[in-house]
Structure 1
Amino acid sequence: MKKLAIALVAAMSTYAMAENANHPSWSDTLMKAKGQTVYWNAWGGADNINDYIQWVADRVEDEYQVQLEHVKLTDTAHAVSRVLAEKVAGQNDNGSVDLIWINGENFRAMKEGGLLFGPFAETLPNYQTYVTASARQSLTQDFGTPVEGMESPWGMAQVVFMYDTATLYEPPKSMHALLDYAKQHPGRVTYPRPPQFLGSTFLKQALSELTDDPSKLQQPVASQDFDQITAPLWAFLDELHPVAWRSGTTFPGSSEEMMRLLDDQEIDIALSFDVSAASVQIAQGNLPDTVRTYVLDGGTIGNTHFVAIPFNSSAKEGAQVVANFLLSPEAQAYKQEPTVWGDLSVLDYHKLEPKDQARFDNIPKGIATLSLGELGTTLPEPHVSWMEALEQGWRERYAN
């Protein structure tokens, strides 16, 4: 259904993506933004992230007189489908979604379907001042889809693993070692159920290590021999599931559930895409202070997450003001505090003023948070088309 809908949109006449030739001045944008209400559709599954978004809402209301409402999502695709339905219905103005936290497959669907306003990101004052897009492919390519200013970065993430040093002395630091550990300790290893985002990322992480030529994952899946490339992944999972938590018959629904299982000593290793997740949970009393974070010896997958503005947003100026504030040193430094979120900044440290560099220099390091140097090699996300193919392959083999 999703592919059919996107194909329908692609077949429609292309909607003018709005004001690309002559961007209004930033002062005009600020003036028009005053009094606007921005409905930001963003994942709402973590209390600390929800609290951060509320902090942003308070700041933009105080400073810019823009009201920000967090529409909490369980799946970003729901917001994408809503915008698509509005376009199919001819609702080209006064849309219900003003800003979306987005990346990967959802961004590609919206960009290819003509569902986005822009380009706007590179015209934002804070982007121009603090972001060096040319230095980071992850800011110009989103899972293989060119960004081209149609979304604005606001954080970077990397897969990390967590374990309790009180019960596990030396954690497994490769997929082969993880399988060996699971065989030696049945029931103590698991991963989130795909298509939950982290579960699908676990599949990509494993495939990146197990396949003979990871560079093939950077190409569209249709151009590759899917069965041959993925054969080592399915063989790995065939061995893992019988010795996994609950014998691989059920899987956690999220990183948060994995951390609860780790706290309850049901499993020995948890996953997250948030490098400070363990520190946050320790500070909140949800994990023991003996939990630590690590990455695999061969590196772990990392990516950038963005915000985008739908083509029919009723508050385009307000949405741009929010996106610009998210790129301020104040907002980026506060977000990077381990007990707030711990999300990695997209700003170029060397482009910051000394006082703003000091903001980052003075961020306390969480008890279980890895430094940038300790994060090791950041592996690129496979081309976005691999996600759906891997999820479908997983469902065919393992869905109950």
Structure 2
Amino acid sequence: MLTICKSLARVFSVAVALFISVCAHADSWQEIEKQSAGQTVWFNAWGGDASANGYMQWVSEEVKKRYGITLNIVKVADAADVVKRIQSEAATGRTRKGSVDLMWVNGENFHTLKQGGLLETQWAETLPNWRYVDTNKPVREDFAVATEGAESPWGSAQLMFIATHSRLADAPGDLASLLALAKQHPGMLSYPRPPDFIGTAFLESLLLLRVNDPQVLTKAPDENFATVTAPLWDYLDKLHPLLWRKGQDFPVSAARMDRMLADGELLATLTFNPAHVTHLVKRQQLPPDAYAFGFTQGMPGNVHFVAIPVNSSAKPAAKMVANFLLSPEAQLRKADPAVWGDPTVLDPTKLTAAQQQQLDAFTAGAPDAIPVLPEPNAAWIPALEAEWTKRYGSR
């Protein structure tokens, strides 16, 4: 009897501790909500996509209406510029009232900020809407680097090609077929010039599919960099002379490639959003027979995040915005191809039946699932870009 009582006492004490923890968290979130009212958040985000910009305008209006938060969207061309600004502020001792309160970041830029101790940590999983997140997705690591609560996920992405059936009836399903297509149609393929992030993602896809042991990419490159990447450069040396302008020049962005595809200059473009093809068709920038495709072995994919710099002057409001971005309402709107079509990071099984049905409708007609290849450790990105520039960038 005594043993049973002790066991019940232990169970009761755990339950009480859990109850206290939940209540404390509720109280702390209520305090965050109270502090956030009237604050202004400067959200630095990539501004290269009209659909994403339109969505963020809606978010700005909603957090103002719901929480009294002013959300100013700073459209940037390259998140690396924001990283440099945060680093500069830290170097000059600006530990408070920084110019960035929230930022769209991942990969190499996150790695740089985290290494420098320039991000607020251990906050992401305290957001009330974290309970909806699909933790089977890589939401706790970013390019093989542990996030440690310094980033909150808000969307998924995967590199894909876009073409039209009328001009490319048989999509290449592997690297050998891509090379064969380039030989058959010289000058009609290309990719964005690295360090454009889609151009770099294309390099990653080639490396992931050509490397002898993909496991070596989960750690930072070492003295074996040349040996590991040799198959990549060998493939590019064969591919480049067959590309647009014989590989002596490259489009500046995927948006430029979209226009070149529409104008008949290219057979395919690249995107990090499989739903992007729907937008191009809806805007009548591509014909209805446009479609997305990828290599059957897989294409690199990731989760994109928002982060809070450690010197943010509006941390409570920044957390409120991040939490709203994770709400089913915001995630479903973002997943709507008519709005943006950015894939959700939420677990559909944690949504209501009506919400699941809505999400299913948004993904109907999407391209056949392509395996997602995990991206290399963030340290590979600058190394690949530097070597690519050395080999091909000065031509």
TM-score (norm 2): 0.91
1:83 and 1:97 in contact (8 A); partners too: yes
Structure 2 residue runs without a partner (length 5+)? 1-23
Aligned equivalents of 2:123, 2:178: Cα separation in 1: 43
Aligned equivalents of 2:83, 2:246: Cα separation in 1: 35
- Cross-structure match for 1:389: 383
1:295 and 1:375 in contact (8 A); partners too: no
**In structure 2, the residue corresponding to 1:292 is in which secondary structure?**
strand
**In structure 2, the residue corresponding to 1:221 is in which secondary structure?**
coil
Paired residue type of 2:196 = Q
- Cross-structure match for 1:376: 370
Paired residue type of 2:29 = W
Task: Using the TM superposition, give the Cα deviation of residue 363 of structure 1 relative to its aligned residue in structure 2, in angstroms.
Answer: 2.7
1:155 and 1:344 in contact (8 A); partners too: yes
- Cross-structure match for 1:276: 275
Task: Using the TM superposition, give the Cα deviation of residue 182 of structure 1 relative to its aligned residue in structure 2, in angstroms.
Answer: 0.4
Aligned equivalents of 1:285, 1:267: Cα separation in 2: 17
Task: Using the TM superposition, give the Cα deviation of residue 357 of structure 1 relative to its aligned residue in structure 2, in angstroms.
Answer: 2.3
Q: What are the superposed Cα offsets for residues 152-189 of structure 1, whole Å, 9 maximum, x if unpaired? A: 00000001111110111101111121111101110011
Paired positions, count: 370
Paired residue type of 2:381 = M
Task: Using the TM superposition, give the Cα deviation of residue 333 of structure 1 relative to its aligned residue in structure 2, in angstroms.
Answer: 0.7
1:43 and 1:75 in contact (8 A); partners too: yes
Aligned equivalents of 1:355, 1:176: Cα separation in 2: 44
- Cross-structure match for 1:131: 133
**In structure 2, the residue corresponding to 1:191 is in which secondary structure?**
coil
1:338 and 1:365 in contact (8 A); partners too: no
- Cross-structure match for 1:17: none
**In structure 2, the residue corresponding to 1:396 is in which secondary structure?**
helix
1:94 and 1:313 in contact (8 A); partners too: yes
2:40 to 37, 46, 57: 37
- Name segments (4+ residues, structure 1) moved above 6 Å: none
1:192 and 1:198 in contact (8 A); partners too: yes
Task: Using the TM superposition, give the Cα deviation of residue 359 of structure 1 relative to its aligned residue in structure 2, in angstroms.
Answer: 3.1
Q: What are the superposed Cα offsets for residues 285-339 of structure 1, whole Å, 9 maximum, x if unpaired? A: 2111111111211011000000000111111111001000000001111111112
Cα root mean square deviation, aligned: 1.4
* Correspondence 1:1-400 to 2 at 5 A: 25-127=28-130, 129-133=131-135, 135-136=136-137, 138-222=138-222, 225-363=224-362, 365=364, 369-370=366-367, 374-400=368-394
Aligned equivalents of 1:357, 1:88: Cα separation in 2: 47
Task: Using the TM superposition, give the Cα deviation of residue 364 of structure 1 relative to its aligned residue in structure 2, in angstroms.
Answer: 6.4
**In structure 2, the residue corresponding to 1:109 is in which secondary structure?**
helix
Task: Using the TM superposition, give the Cα deviation of residue 84 of structure 1 relative to its aligned residue in structure 2, in angstroms.
Answer: 1.2
1:189 and 1:245 in contact (8 A); partners too: yes
Aligned equivalents of 2:80, 2:187: Cα separation in 1: 33
Q: What are the superposed Cα offsets for residues 208-252 of structure 1, whole Å, 9 maximum, x if unpaired? A: 111222222112112x61111111111111111111001111111
Task: Using the TM superposition, give the Cα deviation of residue 83 of structure 1 relative to its aligned residue in structure 2, in angstroms.
Answer: 1.2
Paired residue type of 1:389 = A
Q: What are the superposed Cα offsets for residues 317-376 of structure 1, whole Å, 9 maximum, x if unpaired? A: 11001000000001111111112111111111111233332332343646xx32xxx222
**In structure 1, the residue corresponding to 2:139 is in which secondary structure?**
helix
**In structure 2, the residue corresponding to 1:114 is in which secondary structure?**
coil
**In structure 2, the residue corresponding to 1:215 is in which secondary structure?**
helix
Structure 1 residue runs without a partner (length 5+)? 1-21
Aligned equivalents of 1:77, 1:167: Cα separation in 2: 37
